[in-house]
Amino acid sequence: MKTTMALKPLAFALAALMAVAAQAGQPNHHPQPAPTTASATTLDGQTNHGNVVTNEKTKNNASANDSYNNISGVANGNVLSGDNNQGKNDVAIVSGDADFVFASAGAAQSNTGNKVLNSATKNNASLNDSGNHASGIIQLNSEAGTSNQGSSSVALASGNGSSGAATVTGVQDVSGNLTLNLSSGHGWSTKPVVNNASVNNSMNFSSGISNSNVLSGSGNQGQNNVAVTRF
């Protein structure tokens, strides 16, 4: 009886050790955390359709002069003068510690079925002394006239994860438009239609990405798209 009682604690100890060893030998079934994502999306469009415009001795001036100098970051600007012009700026930025970061920007422009009659009209669009000594992403649109469209889109994705992506899609459609440019007056006093677009002393000594659209006249489209990813 005493021998049997003395062996029982030893048997319990051996059984406990065997159980611990068996547990240690089994694979780890703890669930792994699901991958994390972070995203930013912008989708936008412009439609210019079915307009009728008559300009007689009209002057349209759009200027971005001495602007956007010595700046940093993301800067977009639209300067419009005239009739039925459209300008838009889209920015999608995502930054985080997710496993996957994604930024996308989509832009579409449609300019159809417009009728424009210009008689001795002057359209001036200028970008002078602007966007100098700037850093980052600088986008400027200057439009003068009728039914012009300017668009700027930026998609930035930045993260510390294992993957990332940035996409930009752009679509432009110009169709079925009618534009008549007529002079006025007779003989030596005739005044023609004048369209001027100028970029002077701009985007100098800049770092990063600099884009500009300078449009003058009728039915023009300009689009700037930028996609950047870092992970």
Beta strands in the chain (DSSP E): 37-49, 52-56, 59-65, 72-83, 86-96, 100-112, 115-119, 122-128, 135-146, 149-159, 163-175, 178-182, 194-200, 207-218, 221-230
* Residue of 4, 219, 28 lying closest to 109 (CA atoms): 219
Q: Are 100 and 34 in contact (CB under 8 A)?
A: no
Residue 18 belongs to a domain: no
| pLDDT at residue 19 greater than cutoff 70 | no
3-state secondary structure at position 58 = coil
CA–CA dist 112, 104 (Å, integer)? 27
Query: What mean pLDDT value characterizes the chain?
Result: 84
Instruction: With respect to residue 19, please indicate whether it lies within any of the assigned structural domains.
Output: no
Q: In terms of residue numbers, what domain contains 183?
A: 37-230
Q: How many CB atoms lie within 10 A of CB 151?
A: 27
The residue with tokens 């990405």 is: 209
Residue 64 counted as domain residue? yes
In whole angstroms, how far apart are CA 229 and each of 152, 154, 162, 208?
18, 11, 12, 14
Asked if the structure places residue 148 within a domain, the reply is yes
Q: What is the pLDDT at residue 172? A: 86
Higher pLDDT: 189 or 196? It is: 196
Q: Over 60: is that where the pLDDT of 23 sits?
A: no
pLDDT of residue 121: 94
For residue 31, being part of any structural domain is answered with no
Say how many domains are in the chain: 1
Using one digit for the tens of pLDDT, what is the confidence trace for 124-146?
999 999 999 999 999 888 999 99
Confidence at residue 3, expressed as pLDDT on a 0 to 100 scale = 44
- Whether 25 is covered by a domain: the verdict is no
Q: Is residue 42 part of a domain?
A: yes
Q: Is residue 146 part of a domain?
A: yes
User: Using one digit for the tens of pLDDT, what is the confidence trace for 194-208?
Assistant: 999 998 899 899 898
pLDDT of 102-127, one tens digit each?
Answer: 999 988 989 999 999 999 999 999 99
pTM of the model: 0.74
pLDDT tens across 152-172, in order? 999 999 988 788 899 988 888
- Please give the pLDDT value at position 116: 94
Which of 77, 75, 69, 74 lies closest to 134 in space, CA to CA?
A: 69
